[in-house]
Structure 1
């Protein structure tokens, strides 16, 4: 939903025309966000800071009222029955493609990793049930995070996994879920939030684009994920995306907990190059980059690899996480292996020669992420995804990533800041001549 589309809808209403159901939803969403402490589309931002100031004393201790047939539910992801309910709701009603061919397959390990970082609060995993049956029909999650926004540190919450049952979206439960989790977070003295959406709401702080690197093009084509361009044969497409059998980077290996101190030091220094980052505690960073140490490598959600020099110093690392798709109504395949590039760092970025441009870092990241593709293939990954965050634009083209259709909009709740570059040009396509200033990768 853009400012232009809102203007068009308002003109349509003023002329006495009827809105379609999707247009009505756009207007309702717009009206809701106009009541929230977020920058408007046409606002000229000259200062940085909170939009409104509140204290815990200003916040109601009572949950928001729901329609009489619904009730609030505090979910405990540690309980198998609650975990199963969240899995089922997300699987059947969360993000899927327009043809309903693919659905995210959330494993227990993934939900534990995504929803239970150090310091998480059960009461920020908010559900809505049907009172008569107890069925879970709505969910939203908040996890604590500290942000650095152009050198201003903010205590915040990351909002994710907002989901309402498809058949109940006319009940306007999504705004109520947002308000309720906001109330619960505010009661802990936190008044800012970070969230993302594929749709345009008032008003993005940054915009990035998804990019996809086919690994098993033949399979992607057979399930309708990738299409055959005109004038090109299937054999040519398969050859185009064929990977080397061996990587290029010397001394690259899977990370162990013994590497953490070196990874943390490198990551902290590398992240200072961006304008919006998350400030992880030691325990948080260990969780996000190393996951549960008790899980076997082949079952891990997050995969982190390091490069160690002859003196035992960690000079580079990269990470990616796995979130497969279930494929519906396909006789040959039932799952797509999907990898998402997560955080990385290289000490090449601090080389004195790098001040003359990005060529050294471009070469190094192309080698590192090129090897990440090979490792991902060995783990059964069919397509590797990356946003235009961090320094990704330096290697996307050389490693044969293709621009996706989807844009990801980043938002800050109750915080005003000038636009942060997301690696796109003025037409919202990848800017291969520049890099992003967005250092946050959200799930």
Structure 2
């Protein structure tokens, strides 16, 4: 049987073992082993010990000769007419056993993992991406423009799926549909290689990131199993206006590409991407922007994650990936200690009345960067107004009542697997920080204090925009994780991280 990419060979019950040729050395070993009276056991029986024989004899005297229905049903379960479905076999295992299998597959994977550095990527062949309108490695790009023209006809029929699966369009305004998507992502979206952490999303978080003011259900592509309508694949395209150097484009932001982990050998990922591109073209979108932690053809910019511990003891207990502490615990706790309260006068949570001023501050600040979103007042209201357990935004109100500064971060939960004490971990991720009257380092230190008070265990930030001005001063440490930005059907010169003004919650 084939299980998650690992081929497992085994005998099939009910088949005669006489077909299997024995090695001469094995025959010699069998002949040399002392044997009792020849047994008339069935071909598939194993060697029975004396104790087993006594138990069988005792059972024969106390039980009727006819087997019970329960016993017969149990035996019949291991006499299938054909090969058992490997997905059904995995589903029958406990969650703990499935996690053990996943860990083993990560440790003993027979296939090459996707490259995480440019040098590794240039040695790899990308059969799917070579067919897509994206820049190739080594292309000399000096001007902006589409990779492929817009004259091609839009395919009317959806792309073909493996037998037994069909396309669906998710309407996330339905609570039941949103619950299905939560279940798919929480079990399959992203997991650490050592099987210790798994991202966990709530319904409100998905509404926030997938349903901006002009969201399109048509660009929420899903795959279901025909027999039971189970959701097993998803990819989303969220409309947005972005500016790339001097060109403004209407694009889709690609988010939450996810395939059920037991179906990844069926090559559904390329089909999901093609289908989203087809649907987007039907709606007039010719370009897309997306991010990934692996290197694909070809990154527009590559950024690094920086981490600031808020609950260091817990992070060490759960062995948070990439966290390096080169000192004893007490010294590390003292070094990462934060003030008990914020210090900036006039700092308060943002309110709806602040939206227009926040919009003005953010848009003015974003004008400095080569890749940036073009946000409307409605976009800012949706993206930055506080939502419980999802996004937090704070503003600084001056003595005259004018909003002068803004800082915003969103929170993501991770499920901690196989840990005796901790079951969850909460990460704060920086969205935007704009300071005109307050020192940016002081404002960000207050953001760390507020994030900790909200229950976050760690604060994460990318080295995009002006973030490098405070990362080291506030004891952020660079991790070994990177985030790469990509454009679909658009080519332009690469840019450094400090020229990127776009953050995609994902």
Say whether the fold is shared (TM-score over 0.5): yes
Residue 394 of structure 1 is aligned with which of 469, 487, 497? 469
**Cα deviation, residue 340, structure 1:** 0.5
Q: Does the 8 A contact of 1:276 with 1:440 survive in 2?
A: no
Residue deviations 1:211-240, cap 9 Å, x none? 111000001111111688676211111111
**What TM-score comes out, normalization by structure 1 length?**
0.85
**What TM-score comes out, normalization by structure 2 length?**
0.74
Q: What is the number of residues matched between the two proteins?
A: 391
Residue 126 of structure 1 is aligned with which of 216, 221, 233? 221
In the aligned structure 1, how far is the partner of 2:410 from the partner of 2:187? 22
1:51-66 map, 5 Å: 51-55=147-151, 58-66=153-161
**Cα deviation, residue 437, structure 1:** 3.9
Distance 1:270 1:58, change over 3 A: same
**Cα deviation, residue 403, structure 1:** 0.8
Q: Which has the larger radius of gyration?
A: 2
In the aligned structure 2, how far is the partner of 1:227 from the partner of 1:262? 38
Q: Does the 8 A contact of 2:134 with 2:489 survive in 1?
A: yes
Residue 136 of structure 1 is aligned with which of 217, 231, 236? 231
Residue deviations 1:316-355, cap 9 Å, x none? 101000111111122211111211001121225xxxxxxx
**Cα deviation, residue 442, structure 1:** 3.9
**Cα deviation, residue 81, structure 1:** 2.2
1:163-202 map, 5 Å: 163-202=258-297
In the aligned structure 2, how far is the partner of 1:189 from the partner of 1:225? 43
**Cα deviation, residue 98, structure 1:** 1.1
Residue deviations 1:127-148, cap 9 Å, x none? 1011122111110011000011
Distance 1:269 1:195, change over 3 A: same
The answer on 1:212 being equivalent to 2:327 is no
Residue 392 of structure 2 is aligned with which of 303, 311, 318? 303
The answer on 1:37 being equivalent to 2:109 is no
In the aligned structure 2, how far is the partner of 1:242 from the partner of 1:289? 28
The DSSP-based 3-state class of the residue aligned with 2:482 is: strand
Q: Does the 8 A contact of 1:205 with 1:420 survive in 2?
A: yes
Match of 1:330 in 2: 419
The DSSP-based 3-state class of the residue aligned with 2:307 is: strand
In the aligned structure 2, how far is the partner of 1:237 from the partner of 1:316? 31
Q: Does the 8 A contact of 1:341 with 1:386 survive in 2?
A: yes
Distance 1:300 1:37, change over 3 A: same
In the aligned structure 2, how far is the partner of 1:420 from the partner of 1:231? 34
Q: Does the 8 A contact of 1:307 with 1:315 survive in 2?
A: yes
The DSSP-based 3-state class of the residue aligned with 1:31 is: coil
**Cα deviation, residue 365, structure 1:** 1.5
In the aligned structure 2, how far is the partner of 1:182 from the partner of 1:199? 21
**Cα deviation, residue 262, structure 1:** 1.0
The DSSP-based 3-state class of the residue aligned with 1:183 is: helix
In the aligned structure 1, how far is the partner of 2:325 from the partner of 2:267? 44
Q: Does the 8 A contact of 1:388 with 1:436 survive in 2?
A: no
1:416-427 map, 5 Å: 416-422=491-497
In the aligned structure 1, how far is the partner of 2:150 from the partner of 2:138? 25
**Cα deviation, residue 440, structure 1:** 3.6
Match of 2:383 in 1: 288
Distance 1:175 1:6, change over 3 A: same
Match of 1:341 in 2: 430
Match of 1:225 in 2: 320
The answer on 1:321 being equivalent to 2:410 is yes
In the aligned structure 2, how far is the partner of 1:303 from the partner of 1:49? 37
Distance 1:125 1:131, change over 3 A: same
The alignment yields a C-alpha RMSD, in angstroms, of 1.8
The answer on 1:102 being equivalent to 2:177 is no
Match of 1:379 in 2: 454
The DSSP-based 3-state class of the residue aligned with 1:174 is: helix
Structure 1 regions of 5+ residues with no counterpart?
A: 11-29, 292-297, 349-362, 423-434
Q: Does the 8 A contact of 1:421 with 1:438 survive in 2?
A: no
In the aligned structure 2, how far is the partner of 1:31 from the partner of 1:52? 18
The answer on 1:5 being equivalent to 2:94 is no
In the aligned structure 2, how far is the partner of 1:96 from the partner of 1:275? 32
In the aligned structure 1, how far is the partner of 2:279 from the partner of 2:406? 37
The answer on 1:369 being equivalent to 2:369 is no
Q: Does the 8 A contact of 2:168 with 2:224 survive in 1?
A: yes
Of 175-184 and 363-372, the range deviating more from structure 2? 363-372
Q: Does the 8 A contact of 1:221 with 1:227 survive in 2?
A: no
**Cα deviation, residue 7, structure 1:** 5.5
Match of 2:252 in 1: 157
The DSSP-based 3-state class of the residue aligned with 1:326 is: strand
In the aligned structure 2, how far is the partner of 1:299 from the partner of 1:6? 40
In the aligned structure 1, how far is the partner of 2:208 from the partner of 2:325? 42
